[in-house]
Amino acid sequence: MCRFMSDKALDNIRFPHSHLLGTEGLTPDVISLLLDRSESYVEQNRQADKKKSVLHGRTIINLFFEDSTRTRTSFELAGKRLGGDVLNMSVATSSVKKGETLIDTAMTLNAMHPDVLVVRHNDSGAVKLLSEKVNCAVINAGDGRHEHPTQALLDALTIRRRKGHLDGLLVAICGDIAHSRVARSNIHLLNTMGARVRLIAPKTLIPSAIDRLGVEVFHDMNEGLKDCDIVMMLRLQTERMHGGFFPSVREYFHFFGLDYEKLANAKPDALIMHPGPMNRGVEIASEVADDIGRSAIREQVEMGVAVRMACLELLTANLPTSGGAKP
Ligand code: NCD
């Protein structure tokens, strides 16, 4: 399926926000705009010549206070493929290590006139706070357990390309929901687009107020996976856990790890997804993760670059064309 917007059509459509901080509050039209635009980049990224000059003259700074493989590299590739200058700020070698605060770091970078700051931070809300202090566009690349909007967009693009639509689909998000910004961003986006979301996890890994988000909650994989179209697995985020959330990894896999036996409850053509990094044998069996007929995990990574190109393009289209970001 390839229905996307031409460059010309884009001239008349604007992304109605200065920043991309979350999927909460994005309308179906805005989500569709981002996904349609991403489609054109999927095609472009498969060509030998992947370069465009949409971001010519623009500066994008990747500011990651937490580890990342996929998100940081795909933002870097996205910026470069659109002809922008991309700088990766490594927190390990920056003045953050000398005690500089988040806001001081942001203000220092802001003084160098970047057009986009892509920020990942371990505190929920930190990226929004930063966006209120700088003059450029800010993209949330994951803040604590709050939101990770580009992950939800790339997941949606993957699903839409495989299933043709998002509305009416039954999506199971399984595992460590409590610590997952991926789960939150997906819940908002999928609900907005008319999909039905089920969460499957042990009681200790479901946040208390989650039912307010319009989801069904299950604590049994076999029950929760029944008739699902999409099975999205999440990593146990032990780095965010203080105390015992589950008895042992072995027991966790037994009850909540995705293997073929549990998967048999979902629809026969159910798609398997995982945002990565995967812990094989913990939340997912290796043979299921590598099942080329059913797993879309590699495709999710491919879609990540296209989605980030669309986000960078649409956000910078809102910036002034002379003088860079607002003074
Ligand atoms: C996720 C994240 O960082 O929130 N990974 C990612 O961006 N691909 C999920 C995770 O770390 O488990």
The residue from 98, 203, 212, 242 that is catalytic is 98
Distance CA 324, CA 327 (A): 8
pTM score, whole prediction: 0.94
User: For this structure, is 98 an active site residue?
Assistant: yes
The pLDDT of residue 53: 96
The pLDDT of residue 67: 86
Asked whether the CA dihedral 83, 318, 73, 327 is positive or negative, the reply is positive
Is residue 184 within 8 Å of 146, Cβ to Cβ?
A: yes
The pLDDT of residue 307: 98
The residue from 148, 160, 179, 198 that is catalytic is 148
The pLDDT of residue 2: 42
The pLDDT of residue 7: 56
Distance CA 9, CA 17 (A): 19
User: For this structure, is 71 an active site residue?
Assistant: yes
The pLDDT of residue 322: 57
Q: What is the mean pLDDT of each run of 10 residues along the chain (327 residues)?
A: 50 84 97 97 97 96 92 98 94 72 89 96 94 96 97 98 98 96 98 98 91 93 98 91 78 96 98 97 97 97 98 94 53
Pocket of ligand 1 (CB under 6 A): 70-71, 142, 148, 151, 181-182, 235, 237, 275-276
The pLDDT of residue 303: 98
The rounded Å distance from CA 56 to ligand 1 centre is 29
